[in-house]
Chains A and B, each alone.
Chain A
Amino acid sequence: MYGNTGKIIVVDLTTGKIEIASLPETDYLSYIGGSGLAARYFWERGNFQADPLSAEAMLIFMNGPFAGLKLSGASRSSVAGRSPLTGNWGDSSCGGYFAPELRYAGFDGIVLTGKAEKPSLLVIEDNAVCIESAEDYWGKGIESVNRSLKDKFGKTWRNLIIGPAGENQVKYALILNEAHHAFGRAGFGAVMGSKNLKAIVVKASTKTMTLADPEAFETLRKELNPRIKEALASDVMRVNGTAANLEGGVYSGDVPIRNFTSNFWQEMAESLTGSTLSEKYLTHGGACAYCTIACKRNVRITEGIFAIPDGPGPEYETIVSLGSLIGSMDLAAVCKAGRICNDLGLDTITTGATIAWAMEAFEKGDITAADTDGISLIWGDMETVIDVLIPAIAARTGKLGRLLADGSAAAARRIGKGSSDYTAHAKGLEVPAHDPRGGGHGLALTYAISPRGACHVAFPMLFMEMGACYYPEIGFEYELEPKTDENKAEAAVIAVALGSIENSACFCQFADREITIPEWVALFNTVAGYGWDIDAMMLAGKRVFYLKRLINYRFGRTAADDTLTPRMLEPARDGEPEGIAINLDAMKAAFYRLMEMDPIQGIPTQSALIACGMAEEFEHI
């Protein structure tokens, strides 16, 4: 096997049994790697009846075939399984430094089941894998545990750590690498916590990889790295981070405000945009392994009640979710709120969206002081958010902490009074910081049909509607107008295949945009020896999407779940998209037809599955 190692670590935390297992090459050829390969593993061996937070639940970390290569954006990895937040298939992608180290140690992934008797630490040093006690770390924040693990094992050991939120099984708890890079979405930090696993550390003594055609890959790498580095978007993000164009987003109506009740807030645009962050608080940039874009931020705030020492700073999603979405344009407060979420181990997107829902519910009187232990929830009150709400959620303390710790959809179900109408999610996963009414109606479609729920990085539709995609080799020559449904179903057909390829390859979507379709094929062939042409590659992407849909079907999900909440479907009240409605039903119907999916069951037809080489999978549904 080339590129990939074909080996994974399988751990039963109940018994402490550790196995090194091999995966068949056909699985890689069919499902690529990353979340696609994880879906395949889960399909064959996962327990579909298990509660995501039970010992029987399976948690899968999986690299893509390019992890460890000195290629910009290539060394991300996926975590996957059944999401405790949504009950659906979930996967989440992370950059940072864990994936290459695991690859150099000789593994493509880690599969965890069971529950350790005591807080535990999984230690991987080349081929040696063992479980150690993590009792000293339990209850502590991620920053201090990261420092302790570096002290104990050495600075070059890489780690994945959960915070108190994961230990307390907050359903949107995250997993952090090096206390900075997040497996943010879908709550897999809670799954780790439910297994009493505080952290994983890994160290490899060599950095060797066997590639199918190393010379051809090297030629390609030398072509791609400078192109990715010099791309206009890379340059802009290197200087001002992923929030570099937040101002532009405000003017187009893409940036959500006060729980998606507004699409325009002029004063906020300049207060929260990336250049303001750079001018006021940036100490230095940062990058994931081998990345030349370097969009990461490190910030310090020296004075005021939101002062924080030099450390990880917020990305676009955090800035909006903990800023405009909850009615704040105080960038210092956003930085501190993001830092605390990181340390406690909370996904900032769902945290912000859940607090935003609660603030609106309090304003409407659907939540009262009796539900909040007397705490007032006021738009933009960042002191309460930072000092009271975020710690209460992470600890699951008080009425409010317990109410909000399961996410906005569950909280609204508990409160009732029509409050579900103003949640913002798809399949239980909160909508990220791109409002499809302004960002693009195709994004609404892909939020709705995405197996994991509302996600802007599952598929590149956001980039397609922005105009950043042009792939004539696979028929993507559309000049999409964001605020219409024209050609969106057709574009989504390409987006789901391409997004599935990108996420299974564990590639950064910012770097991806500079890679042509023939170059994608060449990467897979020179690194992993897949022997693909364009059609074979696109078919693999489609297959991954189909398989995740089948998994959701076995969890009881159908096409009826492919929707957005009423709040997301009401026309925008102001800004550029004011008054424009999203025609989701028409886009969905066209998408199902083009994808050969049953419009009731929401899964591919038998003939579509057979055409993808998935006849066997059809037998299981």
Chain B
Amino acid sequence: MEYWKNENEPIQAFVKLFEAAMIDDELTSGLKKVNQLILFDYTEDGPNCCFWMDCRGGNLSVGPGKPSEEPDMTMSLSADDAHRSWSNKLNPVMAITRKKIRVKGSAVGLLKLAPKLKKVAEIYAVILKDLGWEDKILK
């Protein structure tokens, strides 16, 4: 991995990112519209390198590892590309076309989040700074 020392680092950052996003006024409504249980799967970089986000039924929650239920959608990619993605430095369409991102299940809900990636990236930069990982912030 180019950006991470171990498989725990990215999950720590990403879970904190979405904990913050879920209480952000601009992002909350968009996340609720996703209305899916999503598994973000980075296990190509380690067996526990994944997290889930549950946006179903108007409730929002996020956690490390795999969800207890079958996800509606699984998005598989490397932890480095996920870092680029949450930093708004990865074109998701291009990444899907070139098989850097593999999607299983319906991505209809996730489209609701796509226009908000800029805002997600702003929060992500703050989270990285709080974690003392300013060096990981992509300019």
How would residues 500 to 530 of chain A score, 1 for a CB under 8 Å from any chain B CB and 0 otherwise? 0000000000000000000000000000000
How would residues 58 to 93 of chain B score, 1 for a CB under 8 Å from any chain A CB and 0 otherwise? 000000000000000000000000000000000111
CA distance A469 to B98 in the complex (A): 8
Question: Would A235 and B106 count as touching, CB distance under 8 A?
Answer: yes
- Tell me, rounded to whole Å, the shortest Cβ–Cβ distance linking B106 to chain A: 6
Question: Would B106 and A239 count as touching, CB distance under 8 A?
Answer: yes
Question: Would A244 and B115 count as touching, CB distance under 8 A?
Answer: no
- Tell me, rounded to whole Å, the shortest Cβ–Cβ distance linking A108 to chain B: 33
Number of A-B contacts (CB under 8 A): 50
Question: Would B111 and A467 count as touching, CB distance under 8 A?
Answer: no
A130-138, A247-255, A303-311: which lies at the B interface?
A247-255
A232 cross-chain contacts in B, Cβ below 8 A: 96, 103, 107
B94 contacts the other chain (CB 8 A)? yes
Question: Would A244 and B108 count as touching, CB distance under 8 A?
Answer: yes
Question: Would A244 and B93 count as touching, CB distance under 8 A?
Answer: no
Question: Would A469 and B97 count as touching, CB distance under 8 A?
Answer: yes
Question: Would A248 and B108 count as touching, CB distance under 8 A?
Answer: no
CA distance A235 to B97 in the complex (A): 15
- Tell me, rounded to whole Å, the shortest Cβ–Cβ distance linking B56 to chain A: 16
CA distance A373 to B63 in the complex (A): 65
**With contact pairs A232-B103, A236-B107, A236-B108 given, residues A251 and B94 touching in the complex (Cβ less than 8 Å):** no
- Tell me, rounded to whole Å, the shortest Cβ–Cβ distance linking A481 to chain B: 9
A239 cross-chain contacts in B, Cβ below 8 A: 106, 108
- Tell me, rounded to whole Å, the shortest Cβ–Cβ distance linking B89 to chain A: 12
A294 contacts the other chain (CB 8 A)? no
CA distance A244 to B33 in the complex (A): 14
B138 contacts the other chain (CB 8 A)? no
**With contact pairs A232-B96, A248-B114 given, residues A479 and B108 touching in the complex (Cβ less than 8 Å):** no
| Chain A contacts with B in 226-262, Cβ cutoff 8 A | 232, 235-236, 239-240, 244-245, 247-248, 250-251
8 Å CB contact of A269 from B97, B103, B108, B115: B115
B92 cross-chain contacts in A, Cβ below 8 A: 467
**With contact pairs A232-B107, A235-B107, A467-B97 given, residues A479 and B114 touching in the complex (Cβ less than 8 Å):** no
**With contact pairs A466-B93, A468-B97, A470-B97 given, residues A247 and B112 touching in the complex (Cβ less than 8 Å):** yes
B114 nearest in chain A by CB position:
A248
- Tell me, rounded to whole Å, the shortest Cβ–Cβ distance linking A342 to chain B: 27
- Tell me, rounded to whole Å, the shortest Cβ–Cβ distance linking A355 to chain B: 27
Question: Would B111 and A247 count as touching, CB distance under 8 A?
Answer: yes
| Chain A contacts with B in 26-44, Cβ cutoff 8 A | none
B107 cross-chain contacts in A, Cβ below 8 A: 232, 235-236
| Chain B contacts with A in 109-133, Cβ cutoff 8 A | 111-112, 114-115, 118
- Tell me, rounded to whole Å, the shortest Cβ–Cβ distance linking A473 to chain B: 14
B92 nearest in chain A by CB position:
A467
Question: Would B114 and A467 count as touching, CB distance under 8 A?
Answer: no
Question: Would B111 and A470 count as touching, CB distance under 8 A?
Answer: no
B102 nearest in chain A by CB position:
A232
- Tell me, rounded to whole Å, the shortest Cβ–Cβ distance linking B87 to chain A: 16
B108 cross-chain contacts in A, Cβ below 8 A: 235-236, 239-240, 244, 275
User: Chain B: interface residue count, which band?
Assistant: 10 to 19
A contact face: mostly helix, strand, loop, or mixed = helix
- Tell me, rounded to whole Å, the shortest Cβ–Cβ distance linking A471 to chain B: 10
Question: Would A468 and B115 count as touching, CB distance under 8 A?
Answer: no
Question: Would A248 and B97 count as touching, CB distance under 8 A?
Answer: no
8 Å CB contact of B111 from A248, A466, A479: A248
8 Å CB contact of A468 from B33, B93, B106, B118: B93
How would residues 266 to 297 of chain A score, 1 for a CB under 8 Å from any chain B CB and 0 otherwise? 00010000010000000000000000000000
- Tell me, rounded to whole Å, the shortest Cβ–Cβ distance linking B27 to chain A: 13
CA distance A251 to B120 in the complex (A): 14
B116 nearest in chain A by CB position:
A251
Question: Would A479 and B112 count as touching, CB distance under 8 A?
Answer: no
Question: Would A245 and B111 count as touching, CB distance under 8 A?
Answer: yes
A250 nearest in chain B by CB position:
B115
Question: Would B115 and A251 count as touching, CB distance under 8 A?
Answer: yes
CA distance A236 to B94 in the complex (A): 16
A247 cross-chain contacts in B, Cβ below 8 A: 111-112, 114-115
B106 cross-chain contacts in A, Cβ below 8 A: 235-236, 239
CA distance A240 to B93 in the complex (A): 18
A236 cross-chain contacts in B, Cβ below 8 A: 106-108, 111
B103 cross-chain contacts in A, Cβ below 8 A: 232
A469 cross-chain contacts in B, Cβ below 8 A: 97
CA distance A245 to B92 in the complex (A): 13
8 Å CB contact of B94 from A240, A275, A467: A467
Question: Would B91 and A244 count as touching, CB distance under 8 A?
Answer: no
B101 nearest in chain A by CB position:
A232
B93 cross-chain contacts in A, Cβ below 8 A: 466-468
- Tell me, rounded to whole Å, the shortest Cβ–Cβ distance linking B116 to chain A: 8
CA distance A294 to B98 in the complex (A): 24
B115 cross-chain contacts in A, Cβ below 8 A: 247-248, 250-251, 269
A275 cross-chain contacts in B, Cβ below 8 A: 33, 108, 111-112
B29 nearest in chain A by CB position:
A270
CA distance A467 to B101 in the complex (A): 13
- Tell me, rounded to whole Å, the shortest Cβ–Cβ distance linking B37 to chain A: 17
CA distance A248 to B111 in the complex (A): 8
A245 cross-chain contacts in B, Cβ below 8 A: 111, 114
Question: Would A479 and B96 count as touching, CB distance under 8 A?
Answer: no
**With contact pairs A235-B107, A236-B107 given, residues A470 and B98 touching in the complex (Cβ less than 8 Å):** yes
B114 cross-chain contacts in A, Cβ below 8 A: 245, 247-248
CA distance A28 to B93 in the complex (A): 35
B117 nearest in chain A by CB position:
A251
A251 cross-chain contacts in B, Cβ below 8 A: 115, 118
Choose among B91, B95, B118 the residue with the greatest number of A CB atoms under 10 Å from its CB. B91
A466 cross-chain contacts in B, Cβ below 8 A: 93-94
CA distance A469 to B92 in the complex (A): 13
| Chain A contacts with B in 348-381, Cβ cutoff 8 A | none
Binding site for B on A (CB under 8 A): 232, 235-236, 239-240, 244-245, 247-248, 250-251, 269, 275, 466-470, 479
Q: List 6 A-B contacts (CB under 8 A).
A: A236-B106, A240-B108, A240-B111, A247-B114, A466-B93, A467-B91
Sample of 14 more A-B contacts, CB < 8 Å, known A248-B111, A467-B97: A232-B107, A236-B108, A244-B108, A245-B111, A247-B115, A269-B115, A275-B108, A466-B93, A466-B94, A467-B95, A468-B93, A469-B97, A470-B97, A479-B91
Q: What are the 6 A-B residue pairs with the smallest beta carbon separation, nearest first?
A: A467-B94, A251-B115, A467-B93, A467-B91, A239-B108, A248-B114
